[in-house]
Structure 1
Amino acid sequence: MSATRDTSQRRLQISELVRQHGSVQVTALARQFGVSMQTVRKDLRYLSERGVMARAYGGAIDSNVVGNGQAEPHYEAKRTSHLEEKRRIGARAAAMIKPGDTVAIDSGTTSIQLAEALPDIEVTVVTNDFGVLTALTPKSNINIVMLGGELRRKNMAFYGGLTVEALDDLHVDLLFLGVDGFDLERGITTHYEPEAMLNRKMVEAARSVVAITDSSKFGKVCLHRIIPVSDLSTLITDTGAPDDVVQACQALGVELMRA
C-alpha cells in the first residue's frame, strides 16, 4: 500500500474515532497507528483545516460539540447573563475565604461577583482580571497581587508568558476557577488557549480548586481543556445543576454547593 494510501486510511480512521469518542489524544493515536506524534499532529491539522474536528490541547475534539456551535459571547453580554445566579454563587464563594487566606481568583464575570461580595478582611488575592481588581481596590485590608501580561479586551483580563511566569513562586490556599464549558467527560474547558495555560498553572499553585459557574455552562465543551472534573475540590453553582453533575460530584468526592 502506498504512503498516500496509508495516510488517507489513517486520517479516515482518526475521523471515525473522533466521531465515536468525541475526542482523541496525540499520544494514544501515535501508539495505535505506530507513527510519530509529529505525524499525528499533521493529520489532526489537516482534518481540522477541513472542519472535521477542532484542535485541542494534546489532541482534538469533535467539531460538532465544541462550544455547542457557539462562539465566545461578548464581554458585556456575559456580564449581564444569569446575573442573579452569579451574585449568589459569588457570595457563597466569598464566604469560604477566611482572614489570613491567600487566594487566586480567575478571570470571569462570576469571579467579579465573588470580588464584589468579598468583605474587607485581611486576605491576599492573586488575580489576572481587571474587573476583579476594580472591585477589590476600594477594600483597603485586602492585599492584591495583580498578574501582569497583555490585556485581552474580549474579557478584560491579562494573559501571556509574563502572566504564567508570575505564578512560578506563588502558592495559594484556594483557587476560584471560572468556567466556559463544564462537561463530565471532557472536563472544564475555555475558548482561549492562553487562558487554559494560565489556569493550569494556577491549579498547580493551589492547595484546593473551587469551580464557580452557573448551570448554563453544564454540558458545554470549548476548544481548550483546563482540567478534568475530578481535579476539583469543590463546585459552587446554582440550583439548576443537573442530576448527572450532582451524582458525578458525589462519586468523585467533589463537594457540591448550590447557591
Structure 2
Amino acid sequence: MDRHERLNTLLEMVGQRDRIEVEQTAKELQVSPATIRRDLDHLAGRQLLTRTRGGAVAGNVAYDLPLRHKAATHSAEKQRIGAAAAKLVQRGMVIGLNGGTTATEVSRAIATRPEFNNTDNAPALTVVTNALNIAHELTVRQSIKIVATGGVARARSFELTGPLAELILHEVSLDLALIGVDAVDPLRGLYSHHEAEASVNRLLAARARQVVVVADSSKLGGYAFARICATMDAHVLVTDTDANQSLVQAFELEGVQVIMA
C-alpha cells in the first residue's frame, strides 16, 4: 500500500483498538518499524492521535476523522453506493444532502447524470445541502440549483450546523433526503459522531417525503454518540454487497428497502 493508504489504515487501527504498538503494527502492515514511527509522528503532528512510548493511542478525533482522511476508506464501495443512490433521484425533485464522503459520492454521481445537465433556463434539480464541499462542487452545474444552509462550519466534515442551518431547513420541503451516517443499526437507528450534525440530519429527514440512508457495510450494525432518528424514519438503505445478510434481513423486517451496490 502507498503512504496515503497506510496513514488511513493506521488511523482506523487506532480508532478500533484504542492503542497500537510500533513493532506489531510494522509486522501487520509489512513495513519497517522506522516507517511506522515516521507515520505516527506525522499523524500526531496533525493532532489525529497521541504518540506514546513504543506506539500511539487514540485521541477523541480518532472517531471523527477529517473528511480528507476518510475519503480513501472503502472508496470503491462508496462510489458504487453513490451511483446506486443517484438513480433514485428524478428530474424536477428537491433533494437534501448532508455531508460526509458517501454523500459526496452521491452528489458526484448526480452531477454526471445526463438528464441533470440540460441547457434550459429552469433547473433540472434543486439540491439543499449543509455541506460546503458539495455546494462548491455542484455550483458549477448550471442546471442544478443549489441551496446552502447557513450555520457554523465544522472543519472535520465541511458541514454547516447550528441554529442558522436549522432555520433554513424549517422553511423548505424535500422530495428526497439522502443521508450519510457514521453508524446505522436496524433496532437502534441512525447515528452521527457529533450532536450538532445529528440535529441537522434529523431535520433533513423530517423535512423529506422519503429518506434514503447511504452507508457502506462497515457502518451497519453499530452506533455512535448522537442519534439522528429511528430506523422506521428511513425508507431505503443503500449499501455495498459486503453487507452482512442477517443485518440486511433485520433492516427489511423494520420496513427498510435495502439496495446493495
| 1:200-220 deviation line (CA, Å, top 9, x unaligned) | 111110000000010011122
Q: In 1, Cα distance between the equivalents of 2:168 and 2:174?
A: 13
Residue 5 (structure 2) aligns with: none
Candidates 63, 70, 73, aligned match of 1:81: 73
Ranges in structure 2 where 5+ consecutive residues have no aligned partner: 1-60, 118-123
Q: In 1, Cα distance between the equivalents of 2:153 and 2:165?
A: 10
Matched, 1:91 2:91: no
Q: In 1, Cα distance between the equivalents of 2:86 and 2:228?
A: 23
Contact 1:191 1:223 in 2 (8 A): yes
Residue 101 (structure 1) aligns with: 93
- The alignment covers a number of residue pairs equal to 191
The Cα shift of 1:73 comes to: 2.2
The Cα shift of 1:147 comes to: 0.6
| 1:91-124 deviation line (CA, Å, top 9, x unaligned) | 1111111111010011111111111111234000
TM-score under structure 1 normalisation? 0.71
Alignment RMSD: 1.5
Matched, 1:151 2:143: no
Residue 17 (structure 1) aligns with: none
Residue 212 (structure 2) aligns with: 210
Contact 2:66 2:155 in 1 (8 A): no
The Cα shift of 1:70 comes to: 5.8
1:1-259 correspondence runs (5 A): 71-118=63-110, 119=113, 120-121=116-117, 122-259=124-261
Report the residue type matching 1:236 in the other structure. Answer: V
Query: Among the aligned pairs, what percent are the same residue?
Result: 36
Local SS of the residue matching 1:210: strand
The Cα shift of 1:144 comes to: 0.5
Report the residue type matching 1:93 in the other structure. Answer: A
Ranges in structure 1 where 5+ consecutive residues have no aligned partner: 1-68
Local SS of the residue matching 1:80: coil
The Cα shift of 1:244 comes to: 2.2
